[in-house]
Structure 1
C-alpha cells in the first residue's frame, strides 16, 4: 500500500491552486478527477478533436440526431453534440459541485466563435447554455464585443469564463466588466453568492505570438525570455487582481512548457491542463512547491519590454485599450484557429449527414 500522490494531485491537495481538465472527453476527465481536478472546459475545437479520437462513442448518437431533426443544419447538430458533451462532463463533476456548494465542479462551454463581434448574440447563447446544468460556466472571447457581453451575461446570472485572452489589459477589462455586472445584480437585490467568474490567460499562446513577432521583425533576443513571457504576464495580472480584490479568478491555459504549470503553484487560481500535459507533469520530477510569489527575473522582463512592443502591450495594465483587443496579434491568430476548428467540426457532421440513407 502506498500513499503516493501524483504531482498534480499533490498540488490540488496541498495548495489553493485548482486544476481542470482541458477537454470534455469523459475518459480524460475521469483521469483528471482521479488526480485532483475539480473542473473541465470545452469549445467547438475540443469537441471536434474528441470526435476525431472517439467517433466510435458518438457516431450512433449523431446519426440518431440527424434522423430525429430532419430540418436541422450541420450547425444545429454540431451544437446539440457540443451541449450533450458538456452536459455529460457536468454530470461527472456534479458531486464536486455539490460538495463545494457550487464553488468548484463546473464545466465551461463556449459560445460560437463567429459571434465574437456581436455582444447580443453571445449573451443570448450564454443564457441558453447557463440553463443546461446547474454547474455550467460559459466561455466568451475577450474581444471588444465580448467584454460588453461578459458584463451583461454576468448581470443575467451567468458564470462566465473569459477566453481568447492573453494580456493584462484584457484580464483587467474582464474583471471590471464582471464587477459592473455584479453591481447591477446587487442593486436590484439579485443573488450573487453562487457567482464564480473566471478569466483565462492563454499563457502559451502569448509565447507563441511573441515568437512569431521576433521572427517576423528579425529581433535577436535571449531565447529563454520567450519561454517566460506568458508566465510574466500571468504573474503581473495575478498581483493586480489581488491588489484590487476582483471577484474574478484567473485561469492559466495553453501549455507549452512546465513553467506554465509549476510557476503558478500556490496561487489562488486555476490551471486548465490538456491530458497530454497532465501525463507529462505527473511523470515529471518537478517538485510541487509554491512559486506564485517568485518574481520573474527582472532582466527577462526588461529585455522583453525593450525589444518587443507586443510584450509591453500584454504585460502593462494600460498596454492596450479595449478597442485594440480584436486586432492584437494573438487574438487575431487564435480567432482564426478557433474558426477553422469550428469549420472542421461542421465538416465532420456534414459528412455524416450527406451519407445518411
Structure 2
C-alpha cells in the first residue's frame, strides 16, 4: 500500500498527466505502473510539445517521416499515436484487470478544431483507428460546438475523454451529451459495456483566475476566500454527477444494460500557488467513481506525504455553495470566470500545438 493505492481504495483512480518517448523507452512508465500504482495516462498538446521539442528520442522517426514526405501535422500525429499506442500496451494488464475501467491512455484531437464539430468527429474516428487499441480514449473539448461531437463519437462505440470543463453548467451539458451518446451507441448495435468515458473538470485554473480577481478587490473578506473556489467548484460538479447521471432514470436503464458511468476526472491538479499545500487538489477531491490525473510533481508529493482520509467529496455541496455565495457577494462574476477560462484553455492548447508544429516543421 502507498498513498496512491489508498486513493484507489477510496474510489479515486490515479492517472499520470504526462507522456513522452523517453518515459516509454527507459521503462519509466512501466516502473510507475508497477511501483507507484498509476492506472492511466492523459496527454494534451502542451505535453506533446514539451516531449517532442527536447532531446533526441524522436529523431529516428522524424527522419523516417521526412523520407516519406509527411507534412508536419501528419508527422506530429504519427509520433503522438506511436507513443499512445505503446502506452496502451504498457497498461494492457491494468485494463484487463479493471474490466476496462482503468488502464486508459488519452490522445486529444487537434485543438484548432474546437469550434468544428464535423472535423472533430472525423479526426476522433481516425485517431481511434490509428492507435488501434481498445484502451485508448479520444479527448474532445467541451466547447459548445463540440458537445454534439461528443455524442456522435460515443455513438460510434469510441471511448471519450471530455476535456476543458470549467463550469458545473457546462458539465451538466456534457453529462447529457454522454447519456445521449451511449443511448445512440446501444441503438447502433454497439456493446455499451465496452465504451468508457471520463469528464475532465479543471481545478487549479479556477483558483488562479478567481484568486487574481480577489486580489484586485483586496479586502480582508476577499482575501479570506482565496484558494477555496477550485475545490468548491469540483465538489459541486461531483454533486451534479450524482444528480444528473447516477440518479437519471434514462441512464439507469443504460447502466442495467451494461453501460459504465462517465467518471468525473479532476484535471489541472498541480498547485499553481506555492502558498497552498501541494496535494490540495488530491486529498480534497477523493470519492467513489472518480479519477485524478496528476503531473509528476503532484504524483511524487502524493506518494511522499499525502494524507488520505477517505471520501472528501460526498455531502460537501452545501459548503461549496457557501463559498460561491461569498464570491458572488464580493462581486466576482463567476459566469465570466468560466467563459474566460474556457477561451484561454483552448487558446493555450492551440498555442502549444502551433509551437510544436513549428518545431517539428523545422526538424523535417
Q: Which of 4, 24, 49 is matched with 2:19 structurally?
A: 24
Distance in 2 (CA, whole Å) between partners of 1:18 and 1:81 is 27
Relative to the length of structure 2, the TM-score reads 0.85
Question: Which residue of the partner structure matches residue 274 of structure 2?
Answer: none
SS of structure 2 residue aligned to 1:158: coil
Question: Which residue of the partner structure matches residue 158 of structure 2?
Answer: 158
Tell whether the 8 Å contact from 1:229 to 1:311 is kept in structure 2 after alignment: no
Distance in 1 (CA, whole Å) between partners of 2:36 and 2:288 is 18
Alignment pair present for 1:351 and 2:362: yes
Gaps of 5+ in 2: 247-260, 272-277
CA deviations on 1:110-131 (whole Å, 9 max, x unpaired) are: 0000001100010011111222
Question: Which residue of the partner structure matches residue 265 of structure 1?
Answer: 286
SS of structure 2 residue aligned to 1:140: strand
What's the offset of the Cα at 1:183?
A: 1.4
Question: Which residue of the partner structure matches residue 81 of structure 2?
Answer: 83
Shift of the 153–219 alpha-carbon distance from structure 1 to 2, 3 Å rule, reads: farther
SS of structure 1 residue aligned to 2:206: helix
Distance in 1 (CA, whole Å) between partners of 2:306 and 2:11 is 21
Tell whether the 8 Å contact from 1:122 to 1:140 is kept in structure 2 after alignment: yes
Distance in 2 (CA, whole Å) between partners of 1:137 and 1:56 is 27
What's the offset of the Cα at 1:275?
A: 0.6
Alignment pair present for 1:311 and 2:311: no
Question: Which residue of the partner structure matches residue 317 of structure 1?
Answer: none
Alignment pair present for 1:74 and 2:85: no
* 156-165 or 21-30, larger mean C-alpha shift: 21-30
Distance in 2 (CA, whole Å) between partners of 1:330 and 1:101 is 35
SS of structure 2 residue aligned to 1:227: coil
Q: Which of 74, 95, 98 is matched with 1:97 structurally?
A: 95
CA deviations on 1:58-83 (whole Å, 9 max, x unpaired) are: 2222222222x22x221121111111
Gaps of 5+ in 1: 315-324
CA RMSD, Structure 1 to Structure 2 (Å): 2.1
Distance in 2 (CA, whole Å) between partners of 1:129 and 1:104 is 19
Give matches, 1:1-357, under 5 Å.
Answer: 5-12=1-8, 14-25=9-20, 26=23, 29-33=29-33, 34-53=35-54, 55-67=55-67, 69-70=68-69, 72-131=70-129, 132=131, 133-215=133-215, 218=217, 220=219, 221-223=221-223, 225-246=225-246, 247-255=261-269, 256=271, 257-293=278-314, 295=316, 296=319, 299-311=322-334, 328-353=339-364
Count of residues in Structure 1 that have an aligned counterpart in Structure 2: 332
Tell whether the 8 Å contact from 1:45 to 1:341 is kept in structure 2 after alignment: yes
SS of structure 1 residue aligned to 2:58: helix
Relative to the length of structure 1, the TM-score reads 0.86
What's the offset of the Cα at 1:273?
A: 0.5
What's the offset of the Cα at 1:137?
A: 0.3
Tell whether the 8 Å contact from 1:210 to 1:310 is kept in structure 2 after alignment: no
Shift of the 258–224 alpha-carbon distance from structure 1 to 2, 3 Å rule, reads: farther
What's the offset of the Cα at 1:219?
A: 5.5
Shift of the 228–31 alpha-carbon distance from structure 1 to 2, 3 Å rule, reads: farther
